[in-house]
Amino acid sequence: MNPLKWLFSKMDIFEGHIITPWKIKKIISQSKDVFICDVDLIDESDLNKDRIKRIKENKWVIKIRPFEIPELPQLLLIKSCMVPNSIEFPSTYSNYYNFGTCKDYHWYVMKKYVTCDDNMGLYKNDWKKIAISCLQFVSKLHKQYHVYLDFKLENIFFNPTYHTYIIGDYDSVSQLTNSTLEYYQNDYLFYYISKGCYMEDKFKSYKTDLIIIGYLLCKLYYNEEWYNSTYTWEYEYTCNQYRTSEINGSVRKELINRIIKERNDQINEIINTNDILKSYFKIINEFEFSDNYPSIDLYNSLINLFK
């Protein structure tokens, strides 16, 4: 058995487990082989009193993942490039407190935030702030020739201290490629079709990130829990039904074309009732993207729509 799975199957052993310099209190989230846990600082040997005070005044969680899910390198790229609206580490002085490896897994510690997906209704009026946070994030990330590709509510965190929004979960961060979506397996294919992608477009591209942000904003602002709207996200549920299915050839192509048509009809219905979103997609669709970093003016023009 994988040592990581064995460790976390033993809850009495896991709670109180020491991952230096932290002591794990309890698991607060578990998905596949990913664990997020409350932690307390127990080793203060490398910190002065002010730094100890700062850490103890905040709540921290540790994220633990097996090596085969390589999120740590992407996280370190983001932090080294000072990408805005990324997670906050406990220490700006010593990485000993921020991340490390242990047996078959790696870990990092971040400030404990509120997940927007769990409290979606609370943030509906902040959809413009969320838009600006996402665009500021990708503007700097794209300068490193990397894309994020996974904007969704469960990856957007709220920092109540500063009333700001943070983008987390970096395992999907990738370098630009020229490959198109049609060559990916169904789990990727149907997921990204639901996010606005087309089969023939370059998948890992600047435009993909900006389109996915636009679809997130549509869902956030027009969620049917808040409005008596006829708009639904049926194509997302349809895509999820086929993500792990073995569909190939002409059947797959016909199914994808039908889903894309339904998706476009629903998105156009939304865009045509909101001038900001209409302008957002108009700017993106008219811009000529390449493998070079787009002009900073593109990101500024998109950000300015939401101010």
Q: Specify whether the CB–CB gap between 230 and 273 falls below 8 A.
A: no
**Bond prior to 66 in cis (omega within 30° of 0):** no
Residue whose C-alpha is closest to residue 176's, from 205, 144, 137, 198: 205
| Cα-based distances in Å from 90 to 57, 62, 97, 246, 289 | 11, 11, 7, 44, 38
pLDDT of residue 217: 92
Q: Specify whether the CB–CB gap between 215 and 195 falls below 8 A.
A: yes
pLDDT of residue 20: 82
Angle at 109 between CA 103 and CA 113, to 5 degrees: 140
Residue whose C-alpha is closest to residue 180's, from 188, 172, 171: 188
Q: Specify whether the CB–CB gap between 136 and 108 falls below 8 A.
A: no
pLDDT of residue 15: 63
What is the distance between the alpha carbons of residues 25 and 169, in angstroms, rounded to a whole number?
22
Q: Sketch the domain layout of the chain as residue ranges.
A: 3-111, 114-305
Angle at 164 between CA 113 and CA 124, to 5 degrees: 90
CATH class of 114-305: mainly alpha
pTM higher than the cut 0.75: yes
pLDDT of residue 233: 66
What is the distance between the alpha carbons of residues 144 and 291, in angstroms, rounded to a whole number?
12
- Give me the average pLDDT of each 10-residue run along the chain (307 residues): 46 64 86 82 89 91 85 93 96 91 85 79 80 97 96 90 91 90 84 89 92 91 53 74 84 89 88 93 95 94 97
Question: Which CATH code is given to the segment(s) 3-111?
Answer: 3.30.200.20
What is the distance between the alpha carbons of residues 267 and 10, in angstroms, rounded to a whole number?
46
